[in-house]
Structure 1
């Protein structure tokens, strides 16, 4: 009996390290993430951080970096990854040697970096609005003229934003300067005013991007519709990416495909090559991790409404995992398999 007990104990002791290794393949390994400066990208970073911690990794607090600085830092190996790559938009912000040192290792949302113009669905139906060109029609301008200047009011981008340059380009090349009034004040304040008009049943016209709280509050296909630019005429900075300015399968678009007029990017996970080679479980996790755009929009809306502390974001992560346990556990299993 004693010999049997000792033999059984030895088997358990020998088996336990292997079990621990499989469950916690990241034990003893430190990971240095980064995240973008815009808070609409915080959620996916927090979910990935939670997953890596669950796998045993010691994950440092993420460094918040501007785009160009991140791509330089990840190429140098000063940080390991982030989940805020927007490609092809971000290629122009990467250093010359970037592809030799780092690359894309996962897609959070295919075509998630959508940008464009939206119009109240009721107005789209009433006036048969398909593109920006329809705002040259007198009856359309009148319907969207909130300040009485004879032009349709468009919630645009504040000066200094990249989208402001594209919108100004559209006003010029489509000859819309006399038809559309660009509201360039604080975007949040301008959208709050537009939301108030919408709640009164008045038509609204605005630019937005995804992920964003705007298209959670105003659902494309139900409250608003994405509309086209008349034809694709790229700015100099958009040349070479014309094929990404038209996109198919956009929910709530007036046509399929939609001529967005902006470069539509995928939201990607970007990581250092050497770091990934040393960490197959992380590579496996990145390859299967993805999020519905609607889930990011919903979380972004919670942040917009005031739930934006780190504790709030961690609670949002808890809630998402609880709702998606099967998917979450399958991702972790894929990562653990890669460690065997």
Structure 2
């Protein structure tokens, strides 16, 4: 792919473009959440248009992605969340040191949410309310059985943490903890808002649906690191028994990660990764475009890159925006 003519002169002057660069294919990881899908395609587009390199988006699960980065088979993971992914950060970033963290692109707040009309009608204000059988019954449906509480998709590390939280806050036995994909959970929540029916599940900002005024986060004790012990299944098969959580999530930091080998393979691209900054409001727009409006990530990325030339040039020149 040819680089954009508007940036060729600057790229050459700054030394971003070289004959060897085009020989290397840059592999960018993606998975099953919309902000990552958008970011991976944006980075692919930037790599090809501004650096003259061939790039490919590789879809997989996070454990496989990190293991592949450890081997140098994947170059970039646009989103690595802490503390959600701390077990893998400890393994690959701190212990093996084969993966490095670049810039912190944005922060996330996570908690348990319900629809505002549910809170106002039934008084569901605290996470401890979920341990009361009469409150759990509020979320039952005509289909019968236990009421459903969404903890996130099966492949998310945070979903495992929500199983721990449900047990330790005392509501695990009162609900069916479901692990459907986020897109399906969003459909359920939107339907609940339209029909004034109860809904309960994990949520996070800057996701545009969870940030709506019709959705409220339940109260819980402020984060206390001494009361947050999370062991993930990749660390120990007895992860659930070994874990204990009786506090809210800490603010979640989202970093770009890259294989250490990329520092040799393409140091100029690494420099750009360390200069990237994304406003949370913009992340919400990305999630809305790819997750809600179902715009294909590659289509979205081409449009976004075309409209953000100055911002990208700033990242390339070492001026985070």
Matching residue within 298, 304, 310 for 1:314:
298
Report 1:139-288 matches (<5 A): 140-141=135-136, 143-147=138-142, 153-157=148-152, 162-177=157-172, 180-182=174-176, 184=178, 186-187=180-181, 188-209=183-204, 215-220=207-212, 222-229=213-220, 233-237=227-231, 260-261=248-249, 265-277=252-264, 279-288=266-275
Q: For structure 2, which runs of at least 5 residues remain unmatched after alignment?
A: 1-7, 236-244
Residue 242 of structure 1 is matched in structure 2 by none
Alignment partner, residue 126 of structure 2: 131
- Check conservation: 1:140, 1:152, Cα contact below 8 A: no
Shift of the alpha carbon at 1:199? 0.3
How far apart are 1:132 and its partner, in Å? 1.2
| Alignment match, 2:102 | 105
Cα distance in 1 for partners of 2:318, 2:154 equals: 45
Residue 334 (structure 1) aligned with residue 314 (structure 2): no
Q: Deviations over 1:265-302 (max 9, x none)?
A: 42222223343256443233112212233433433343
Q: Give the greater-gyration-radius structure (CA).
A: 1
Match for 2:63 among 59, 68, 76? 68
> Contact between 2:27 and 2:57, CA under 8 Å: does it hold in 1?
yes
Counterpart contact for 2:149–2:200, Cα < 8 Å = yes
Pairing partner for 1:34 from 28, 36, 40? 28
Cα contact 1:36–1:42 (8 A) shared by 2: yes
The separation in 2 between residues aligned to 1:330 and 1:228, in whole angstroms, is 40
User: Which is further off, 62-71 or 191-200?
Assistant: 62-71
Match of residue 12, structure 2, among 9, 21, 42: 21
CA distance in 2, matches of 1:198, 1:145: 16
Q: For the Cα contact (< 8 Å) 1:142–1:150, is it kept in 2? A: no
Structure 1 distance, partners of 2:162, 2:41, is 32
Separation in 1, partners of 2:152, 2:11 = 51
Equivalent-residue separation in structure 1 for 2:138 and 2:32 (angstroms):
34
C-alpha distance in 1 between matches for 2:230 and 2:101: 25
Please state whether the residue corresponding to 1:32 is helix, strand or coil.
strand
Separation of aligned partners in 1, 2:188 and 2:11: 55
Give CA deviations for 1:10-51 in whole Å, capped at 9, x if unaligned.
Answer: xxxxxxx98762266233202422303324212111212222
Distance in structure 2 (CA, Å) of the matches to 1:295 and 1:19? 26
**Cα distance, 1:61–1:324 mapped onto 2, change above 3 Å:** closer
Alpha-carbon distance in 1 for matches of 2:288, 2:229: 31
Displacement, 1:126? 5.5
Q: Please, which moves more after superposition, 154-163 or 76-85?
A: 154-163
1:77 aligns with 2:85: no
Question: How many residues are treated as equivalent by the alignment?
Answer: 291
SS state of the match for residue 216, structure 1? coil
In structure 1, C-alpha distance between the alignment counterparts of 2:297 and 2:101, rounded to whole Å: 25
